[in-house]
Structure 1
Amino acid sequence: MGESNKQSLAQFLAGMLRIKTKVELVPLTDLKRLGATKWEVLGDDPHFLLKGTFYGGWNNIQWESNATDMIPLKLYWDDGHGFREENSLLMSTTSLGHRKQYVTLFIPPEARSLRLDPGESKLEFEISDLEFKKVNKLHIALKSFQNTSKQHGNSFRAINHMFKRTMNVYREYGLKEVWNKIKTKSVAQQSPEANLIDHNRYQLWTSPSLLPVEEMKSKLEQLSYHPLISIIVPVYNVEEIWLRKCIDSVIAQIYPNWELCLVDDCSPKPHIKPILQEYAERDSRIKPVFRAENGHISRASNSGIEISTGEFIALLDHDDELALNALYENVLLLNRIPVADVIYSDEDKISVEGERHSPFFKPDWSPDTLLSQMYTSHLTLYRKSMVEAVGGFRVGFEGSQDYDLMLRISEQTQNIYHIPKILYHWRAIPESTASTNTSKNYTHTAGLKAVKDAIQRRGMQAYVEGVEDTANLYRVHYKPMGNPKVSVIIPSKNMTDVVDTCLNSIFEKTSYSNYEVIIIDNGSTDVTTHKLYEYWLDKEPNRFKVYEYNIPFNYSKLNNFGCTKASGELILFLNNDIEIITPDWMTEMVGQVIRPEIGAVGANLLYPDNTIQHAGVILGIGGVAGHSHKHFKASDYGYFSRLKMVSNYSAVTAACLMVRKDICEEVGGFDEDLQVAFNDVDFCLKVREKGYWNVWLPQVQLFHYESKSRGYEDTPEKQNRFNSEIELMKERWLDELIEDPFYNSNLTKEHENFSLGNPIER
């Protein structure tokens, strides 16, 4: 029997017998042992070698941990060519305190040895009893069923729904896709996004944390403004248990000045009408309507609006629940900001057992993000007069009727506000889109129609498409009207090979034709560099220019000098260690930047190993700013699909940043006191201060050959300069650094992965 066959047989038998093996942690770098199971991270690249027997294929891995902060545990395997980034996955994230952890994952059969990396933060932690248990595919399938049942229930109806969905996938995509679906339900997804929201840590948010009820009521009495809020609930054939929970959550509201407009859309189920009548008799604020014929959700919602008398309306689905303080928080905001026309909040999902999970912590108002996804969703409060002014819900947009409404209202007002608190619990049952975004495919089609209609209504020179067959995710592409000239400014010194790669990729791959490339040479001494310039001056005499600016390195000064030499209407700041991936990169950026409301436009920058280097800037991370989703795989979707969405951010990196020249001049260019760090963040914040929106484009992909370990301030001079730049940013932009409007105060300021931060009052 050959060696590979012996190995396969051993793995098969291990899976059948579910053999357990203990694995020892052997420290290699940047780790100090403090005790039998306690360790201290000393540097930025700590890792253990895992000593012991393991089997390729599916494994249950369990261990015990104790940590004072969340630590990402990343598993690497050596396939005979060493440990590499592409042969790795995020195994788990340790939680606060002492707990037992486990994960199911697939170890490639060719793996010869394993390595475990416990993050980069300098801290102390404990890890013990690391155990691998080989399992087979039957175990994976059973675990998938178990996890699905836990979320959606194990009633005949839920199981039947699950079976039908499985058969639909089989008929359309085959057995391989069924197995892929099973795997995603049974294992911890093997990417950083899988651990964005640690389930156990989220319980810190779901535990009681509200002010005492009497204290909230007392606070309400002190308010001068108590608007009537009409809650609109279209009802159709919902199970009794969920309908009652929905209505009860309204009755339990701390804020009392509401009316509940329950619209039965001619439900055939006999229990609906008696329940609505029962509640109406119990509470005079409850107003039922019984439609004579089924009109679907748009007509039913409009029927609710017609009988409403409130100054504001709130939308609630018939199987969901409001948080106890939902209306209370909205009224608090209205007393602070009486002009608010739209208010939306954060939301989570709630299982059939009442377990809350999958919280969605949203950014503040972001118009380009809305064109990519109906992110405002629940709970949204609308000024009724605004809803009536745009004609209410439109027939023909059922499934995304609320998306269509939000798009139309956002064209009438900019008084849109966000409450960064979980005020809505979306019921995850088989019939609900909270259960799976594929359970109502017609919602995607309706959403696409709503965005297309918005584009036409707004007179935008653009088109929209769905994103990678993902439900309810869209991407708008703007046409580069007028063919404006782009001046690409590249500060550079020596690094001939790097610059050659950059220039080759620009001139050979770029499909947009009206541009010039301006090198600002910062004192190159390498003869090959000057020969490279001569080559391109000869090859592209009309589109390539070189200007010498021999000063001590100051990134801001170099770019500002470049702007004085630019003849284009548009400026593209570009690092010399960039390589173009997508040929239409400049076309996409031009289409965005010529929009009058847009300021800076950024790109999706990748490390050479196809992981994210830059996907927008998050303010406050690490004290000043960090890169969104750094080190995620390029194929990952990120936090609620942010890596696939055209999104608004406070800032984007100047490693690839396009802006109109007149805006650059309006804000005074880059601040030359910020010689190296944060000058692009400061620039973008000045642009935002002038009222423009900054935007990041996922489809514009470039390699950025910046080292992952680059940026350490390793001399006293560099450290002093870096610290002074930090202090300048904090002095100038302290409010923005404390709370980035395009992030969320509930998310971490320590990491770049959108994981949960520490609980705050909510």
Structure 2
Amino acid sequence: MVAIQQLRSLPAGEPAGYAAQGEDLQFEVEAAQGELPVPGWYLLDLRFALEDGRILAPCLYPDYGGGVSEALRIGLAEPARDGRSRSVVLIGSRLHRLRFDPSESRARFAMEQFRLRRISRPRAVWELLCGIQRARREVLCEEAVGAGLRFLRAALRGRMADGGKALLQHYRLALRQGAHSYQHWLARYDRAVAAGSCAADAGAGGAPTPDALAADGAETASSATPAAPTISIVLPVRDPPLPWLRRCLDSVIAQTWPNWQLCIADDASRSGAVRRLLRDYAARDPRIVLRLRENHGHICEASNSAIELATGSHIGFLDHDDELAPQALEEVARAIVEHPRARLFYTDEDKVDESGRRFEPNFKPAWNPDLLRTQNYICHFVAIEAALVRELGGLRAGFEGAQDHDLLLRCAERLDDGQIVHIPQVLYHWRVLPESTALSGGAKPYALEAGRRAVEEHHARSGVRARVEVTEHGYYRSVRSLRERPLASLIVPTRDRAALLRTCVESVLQRTAYRPLELLVVDNGSSEPEALRYLGELRRREHVRVLDWPHPFNFSAIVNHAAAQARGEVLCLLNNDTEVIASDWLDELVSHALREDVGAVGGMLYYPGDTIQHAGVILGIGGVAGHAHGHLRRGSNGYLGRAGVVQNLSAVTGACLALRRALYAEVGGMDESLAVAFNDIDLCLRLHARGYRNVWTPHAELYHHESASRGPEDTPEKRARFLAEAAAMQRRWGELLRNDPAYNPNLSLESLHFDLAFPPRSRISRVSARVPSPLTIPVNA
């Protein structure tokens, strides 16, 4: 190992090793004996002894004779806590030289092991699969296992196969997305970590002063200079370990925003050391006020005691072993000034362990009321206008374990969309210990029941008849009662492919419990004898009407034609390559579609192999939109539970989409200039633009034999049409496609699985804002 760039050997007297002189560290790897490794599969074992800094994104650069390039880069597994790393490496051709880059971050370290040994193909399959599982910390996906089996069968026959390349792609993707990738993201983009200072983005002058921030806010709000906000932090305390309590208190004292108050209520801690520590901190800083309760009243009473001490304009909530990021209150104060109408603010968060390692970031969507009814996605850090907290009576006894969820639901009942602001920055660190429910992902039964009652009472106060259930994964499902059951018109465009159509139609008629319904099958010029015979049968079936559309294919025009003849109050667009699974699918869709605030409603679609095809749409993925959680196994939770709960999304697929017929007419139906692609996305966004919420539910389940009836975009004409429709969507909805309020700017637009964005798209506060008025958008232009 020969250091060739930005690496300085440590002098005698210090531990053997190197100090980084930059962030592009390079070693030349030379063969101790003979030549460099010959082509084949290898296992690389590394062991670092880290003195300071981080080892991030280690990699190899092979030179096969054409020089070193990024296209040849081989990513390696980042080291575990013991400094060890094991990676599978494929040397594809004869090596001329080999470069090893140990890290993209400054560090002081020693290389204790660099062992590259050749392995057999069966061993490579095993190591690749194990590496994928280690990186993702979850059950192996079906595609990776399938690729491994294909590769193994080919290896046993003595030949190479595509399975090897496919498995290697899964492996490399897993390394990029693995458990340590958040450390890499933090080192590059987190304000405090990357700069080593919480004032990194404030320029030479450091954090803004309250007067400067208020002046900036006056320009933003175009009004008189607002008062700089003071944020009162409510901290209930009950016998926490002293080290974590100190870390918690110190994180408040270290805030870059000076206008804060820390309101502590000790809930009769049994430890005298806890009370002595609290008194000591209160004596050191006049902004810390303390109430020592004589009786243990649990978290609601203790929090309310602390709220009584609060004098700030806004109240934030902190747990006694958690930490705030140094700039947390500064960013909240900035958002308060920039959004003078807003009354509730929340941020992103992550977890922190005993050693201070941060992991499992929770990157949240903007205001998402349906998601809040399924889980407390807002959680930490939240700051609420003090007057609103007092107006609601603070936290309610009897909801211990879900007291914050209950408070947020009650706040939401008093606020409109523009009064709830999401700040997409990680500003809160949730402490997890080996026995912690935050680490295990579990929840105590009493907390789940308290949360269930909180959601149920929220519905009752809102005039909604709904039964709330706890799902098997610990979330909430609201089963809404239908006061009336209007006629639902199901629109199924079709052409030929009788077997597909038969599967769809018969599953609808035989497995759907909802009545009344009518099935409108729109024939777009079928010519195959079998299809014509089946269409003839359908013309004589009860609840079925066959409509003819003898024109060139245009999905939007076909649906508009059927919608004009539909008799139902609710329309349901349904592809002819779908298949009903559960009998209550239409009840679920209709129960949401009839809500006055709801636009389009979409369901869960699976591939025939029981992996997810559609769990809602994320804008911007692939340029326009992509389906969330694609290819996860049926029953998977997805990102922070979002593959298994009802939520608001900006769009859902037209393969299964329900909405009120009156709304369809209100927005002018589907845009017929979008003949094939994105017409469903455009419809959803025009509903969104008028203030309606689009809803996705996992409780309406169907199979989708995707695009089986039309085939892929595999001709120059089809590709040109697709590109033209994508360009039209970019012109019309470009800003929204870059900043989906149901997603997060810290998450990637190159992945269906909520992976981290490198780099993030935005670092500013964001309101759950509506897009510009649809009156400026020509529907059929």
State the TM-score, normalized to the length of structure 1. 0.77
| 1:394 is the counterpart of 2:386 | no
Q: 1:344 to 1:710 in 2, by over 3 A?
A: farther
Partner of 1:748: 748
2:283 aligned with 1:276:
no
The answer as to whether partners of 1:559 and 1:670 remain within 8 angstroms in 2 is yes
Question: Which residue of structure 2 lines up, in the alignment, with residue 593 of structure 1?
Answer: 593
* AA aligned opposite 1:63: V
> Structure 1's 665 and 63: CA in aligned 2 closer, same or farther, altered over 3 A?
same
Deviation at 1:408, TM superposition (A): 0.5
**Correspondences of 1:127-526 after superposition (within 5 Å):** 195=178, 198-204=181-187, 205-206=189-190, 207-209=193-195, 210-212=200-202, 215-218=205-208, 220-224=210-214, 225-414=227-416, 415-430=419-434, 432-438=436-442, 440-468=444-472, 470-471=473-474, 473-526=475-528
Q: 1:220 to 1:735 in 2, by over 3 A?
A: farther
Indicate conservation of the 8 Å contact 2:136/2:179, yes or no: no
**How far apart in 2 are the matches of 1:251 and 1:227?**
17
Amino acid at match of 1:423: L
**Separation in 2 of the partners of 1:569 and 1:41?**
57
Q: Tell me which residue corresponds to 1:737.
A: 737
Alignment correspondent of 1:19: none
Give the superposed CA RMSD: 3.6
Report if aligned partners of 1:195, 1:755 keep a CA contact under 8 Å in 2. no
Partners of 1:395 and 1:545 in 2: CA distance:
57
In structure 2, relative to structure 1, the CA distance for the partners of 1:89 and 1:126 (3 Å cut) is: closer
Secondary structure of the residue that 1:262 maps to in structure 2?
strand
2:703, 2:581 → 1: CA distance? 7
Residues in 2 aligned to 1:282 and 1:708: alpha-carbon distance in whole angstroms: 71
Identity within the alignment, %:
39
1:559-608 deviation per Cα after TM superposition (whole angstroms, max 9, x unaligned): 01110110000000010000000110001111111111111000100111
SS at match of 1:538: coil
Q: Is the 8 A contact 1:523 1:551 kept in 2?
A: yes
Which amino acid letter does the alignment assign opposite residue 654 of structure 1?
G
Please give the secondary structure, in 1, of the residue aligned with 2:395.
coil
For residues 257-287 of structure 1, what are the alpha-carbon distances to aligned partners after superposition, in whole Å with 9 as ceiling and x for unaligned?
0100011000001111111111111100000
Q: 1:193 to 1:342 in 2, by over 3 A?
A: farther
1:572 pairs with 2:572: yes
* Aligned positions of 1:32-111 closer than 5 A: 35=64, 62-64=87-89
Assess, with a 3 A threshold, how the Cα gap between structure 1 residues 104 and 678 changes in structure 2: closer, same or farther: closer
Does structure 2 retain, via aligned residues, the 8 Å contact 1:196–1:755? no
What is the CA–CA distance in structure 1 between the aligned matches of 2:694 and 2:630, rounded to whole Å? 19
Q: CA deviation at 1:526?
A: 1.4
CA contact (8 A) 1:62 1:103 kept: no
Unaligned 5+ runs, structure 1: 1-21, 27-32, 43-59, 68-77, 95-99, 129-187
For the residues of structure 1 that align with 2:242 and 2:557, how far apart are their CA atoms?
A: 68
Contact 2:88 2:127 (C-alpha < 8 Å) held by counterparts: no
Secondary structure at the counterpart of residue 695 of structure 1: strand
5 Å-filtered alignment, 1:677-756, equals 677-706=677-706, 712-756=712-756
Q: Secondary structure at the match of 2:270?
A: coil
Contact 1:237 / 1:268 at 8 angstroms: preserved in 2? yes
Partner of 1:173: none
Q: Give the 3-state SS of the residue equivalent to 1:267 in structure 2.
A: coil
Instruction: After TM superposition, give the deviation of residue 532 of structure 1 in Å.
Output: 0.8
Task: Provide the rounded CA distance (Å) in 1 between the counterparts of 2:139 and 2:205.
Answer: 48
Q: Aligned equivalents of 1:695 and 1:91: distance in 2?
A: 38
Listed one character per residue, the Cα deviations across residues 609-646 of structure 1 (whole Å, up to 9, x for unaligned) are: 11111111100111111110111111211000111111
* 8 Å Cα contact 1:37/1:127 also seen in 2: no
Amino acid at match of 2:359: H
Partners of 2:378 and 2:758 in 1: CA distance: 23
Please say if 1:608 is aligned against 2:608. Answer: yes
3-state DSSP class of the match of 1:208?
Answer: helix
Amino acid at match of 1:502: C
Q: 1:263 to 1:23 in 2, by over 3 A?
A: farther
Could you tell me whether the CA contact under 8 Å between 1:192 and 1:632 is conserved in 2? no
List per-residue Cα deviations over 1:466-507 (Å, max 9, x = no partner): 111x23x11111123211110000111111000000001000
The structure-2 alpha-carbon separation of the partners of 1:753 and 1:192, relative to structure 1 and needing over 3 Å to count, comes to farther
> How many angstroms does 1:337 deviate by?
0.6
- Measure how far apart 1:62 and its partner are: 3.6
Q: Deviations 1:120-139 (Å, cap 9, x if unpaired)?
A: 99xx99999xxxxxxxxxxx
Q: CA deviation at 1:102?
A: 10
Q: Give the alignment's TM-score, normalised by structure 2.
A: 0.75
CA shift, 1:217, in A, is: 2.3
Cα 1:214–1:382 change in 2 (3 A) is farther
Taking a change above 3 Å as real, the CA distance of residues 103 and 606 of structure 1, as seen in their structure-2 partners, is: closer
State the partner residue of 1:554. 554
Displacement of 1:712? 4.7
Q: Deviations over 1:83-139 (max 9, x none)?
A: 9xxx99986669xxxxx9898989899996387868999xx99999xxxxxxxxxxx
Pick closer, same or farther for the CA change 1:635–1:38 going to 2, 3 Å: farther
Separation of aligned partners in 2, 1:103 and 1:39: 32
Per the alignment, do residues 479 and 335 of structure 1 end up closer, same or farther by CA in structure 2, a change over 3 Å counting? Answer: same
* 1:235 to 1:335, Cα distance in 2 relative to 1, 3 A: same
Q: Distance in 1 between matches of 2:180 and 2:299?
A: 32
Equivalent pairs, count: 630
Alpha-carbon spacing, 1:520–1:296, altered in 2? closer, same or farther (3 Å): same
